[in-house]
Amino acid sequence: MLSIEGLRHVYGPVVALDNVSFMLAPGQTLAIFGPNGAGKTTLVKVLAGLIRPQRGTVRVDGGRRAIGWIGHESHLYDHLTVRENLLFWASLYGVPAAAREARAAGVAERLGLADRVERPVWSLSRGLAQRAAIARALIHDPRVLLLDEPFTGLDLAAAAELRVLLGELRGAGRTLVLATHNVDEGVELATHVAFQRRGRIVHFAPRGGRDAAQVADAYRRAMSDG
């Protein structure tokens, strides 16, 4: 379970998070939409534990080990191979030594990287590097997955594959938080939808039966109010 309460964080005069609270249960996926500068990345970084909020609390069942994070950057070492990167991150997340190779091979296979695991990251295309970054985030089988603009750099086929993968993770009881400025991305994955504007969550509700067009319409209205 993931719960946050009363989060506030400012950068000088800019309010990045303003009294943000919500709770997500296992199997729920929250899609956070907002324009650039709305505070989505700050929110994801606070959830990941990278930024300590000036006010409020974050609770994640299982602590840091339970979190997988896909940010704007891949967090991979260019001069290590994909396999070496995955093994390194697996060791940091406490994956038992005997299980690391199999785990790395498994996530690489799942992300379509099986035939590229021995290639250094610098030699991968942007799309493949993004897949490797996703593999890195999944190497320890996290219970909570935080995704900040995860579709950036992926071609249509890879983006569709990622949606399928995220759907599988949700089905397996993982909690997903997806931040994006593009309402068309990831709506069908979401069980809950939030709109963020100037640090404030101005809309938080179950998606229900709404499709992408209906969510986009509600988003436009929320962004234009006040």
Partner 1 sequence: MAELLRQAWAVARKDLVLELRTRTALVSAVVFTALVLTLFNFGRDPTAVPTLDLAPTVLWVTFTFAAMLTLNRAFQLELENQALEGLLVSPLSRTSLYWGKLIANLAFVAVVDAVGLPLFVLFFNVSVSRVLLPLVGVIALATLGFVAVGTLFSALVIRTRFAELLLLVILLPFLLPPLIGAVQVTARLLAGRPLSESVGYLKLLAAYDIVFVSLASFLFRFTVDE
Give the rounded distance of the alpha carbon of 166 from its chain centre.
10
Give the strand pairing for 175-180 and 144-148: parallel
Q: How far is the CB of 85 from partner 1 (least distance, A)?
A: 9
Applying CB under 8 A, the span of 32-40, 67-75, 171-179, 210-218 interacting with partner 1 comes to: 67-75
Applying CB under 8 A, the span of 42-50, 154-162, 178-186, 200-208 interacting with partner 1 comes to: 42-50
Beta carbon nearer to partner 1, 146 or 162 = 146
Of 12, 13, 94, 96, the one binding partner 1 (CB under 8 A) is 94
78 touches partner 1 (CB under 8 A): yes
Q: How far is the CB of 6 from partner 1 (least distance, A)?
A: 20
Beta carbon nearer to partner 1, 38 or 76 = 76
Contact positions with partner 1 (CB under 8 A) in 160-179: none
104 touches partner 1 (CB under 8 A): no
Given a contact cutoff of 8 angstroms between Cβ atoms, the answer to whether 84 and 47 are in contact is no
Of 26, 37, 49, 127, the one binding partner 1 (CB under 8 A) is 49
Using CA atoms, how far apart are residues 211 and 100, in angstroms rounded to an integer? Answer: 40
> ∠ at Cα 132 (148, 179), nearest 5°?
10
99 touches partner 1 (CB under 8 A): no
How far apart, in Å, are the Cα atoms of 83 and each of 50, 101, 105, 114, 132?
25, 8, 8, 9, 9
Given a contact cutoff of 8 angstroms between Cβ atoms, the answer to whether 153 and 182 are in contact is no
Residues 6+ apart with CB under 8 A from 130: 74, 150, 152, 153, 154, 158
Secondary element (H or E) of residue 2: strand 2-11
141 touches partner 1 (CB under 8 A): no
Q: How far is the CB of 35 from partner 1 (least distance, A)?
A: 23
Interacting residues with partner 1 (CB under 8 A): 48-52, 63-65, 67, 69, 71-80, 84, 88-89, 91-94, 121, 136
